[in-house]
Amino acid sequence: MRVHPTRQELVELTGAWRGDRFDDGRPRVPDEVLERLREATTEQAWSVLLDNGYPRQFAGGWRQTHPGTILVGRAVTSQFLPHRPDYDAMVVAAGAREGHLEADRQNSWIIESLQEGDVMVTDIFGKVVEGTVIGDNLGTAVATRTRAGAVIDGGIRDFQGLTGLDRVNIFFRDVDPTPIRDVTLAGINIPVRIGGATVLPGDVVLGTPSGLSFIPAHLAERVAEISDDIRVRDVFGKLRLAERAYTSAEIDVPSWAAHIEQDFQQWKRDADPG
């Protein structure tokens, strides 16, 4: 067995993605797309995903270390299972073959694989007591490596220390002072379940005050494009309403009438003649 999939396994797992990849095979959505997605809302992302056949990519009901800080990054997934001695022994042996020598620190194995722009996404089956995947020490390592944050479908500890970290946000279920115990790492960069969503390595994580969206890599640019368009339309619509050029009934509809759409397209060209 392996803790980390091979590059070929990751390429096959995320075969819908046709762009650049990290050395390990994980999709590498461009930084420019990630930056544009910081302006996207949960509802905009959900609408695009729904239209493309992905209605179950949202999970709500989270606490956050930095409410109001938008979380965007590429998912590095991981999963823990309840401890079972024979399985744990196999994981320890596999980890040693892959260079992980601290058998009792399997949560740190995940952090060793993180890069800037990543989001640590960990399924620990909602466990909070003795399910605290990170505290302020490992949280500092996550923040330093990713400059983004983490999603822990379980517990954290050292909450006060974690709230002092800069430029990151960690989504989690609850806080407990106990250390992580009686679990075994099932794998890194494997499919995981977060809430009702299936998350693959390389998905773009969008964390907002509403919750978490897990955007398949091949749809990330489309979500960014639609979000950009909606924001521009909102500016135009509010401008024309303020001018009393159109009524709210004409503007607040899914599709504008042809003459309003023509006006909008001309307004865009005038605003950006280049």
Backbone angles phi, psi at 215, to 5 degrees: -95, 115
SS3 261: helix
Q: How many Å is the Cα radius of gyration of the chain?
A: 21
Say if residue 138 carries a ligand binding annotation: yes
Q: Which two tokens stand for residue 89?
A: 């022994």
SS3 219: helix
What are the angstrom distances between the C-alpha of 239 and each of 109, 130, 190, 246? 52, 54, 47, 10
Say if residue 101 carries a ligand binding annotation: no
Say if residue 157 carries a ligand binding annotation: yes
Q: How far apart are alpha carbons 55 and 34 in whole angstroms?
A: 21
Say if residue 153 carries a ligand binding annotation: no
SS3 87: helix
**Residues that constitute the known binding site for Mg(2+):** 158
**Residues that constitute the known binding site for substrate:** 135-138, 157
**Residues that constitute the known binding site:** 135-138, 157-158
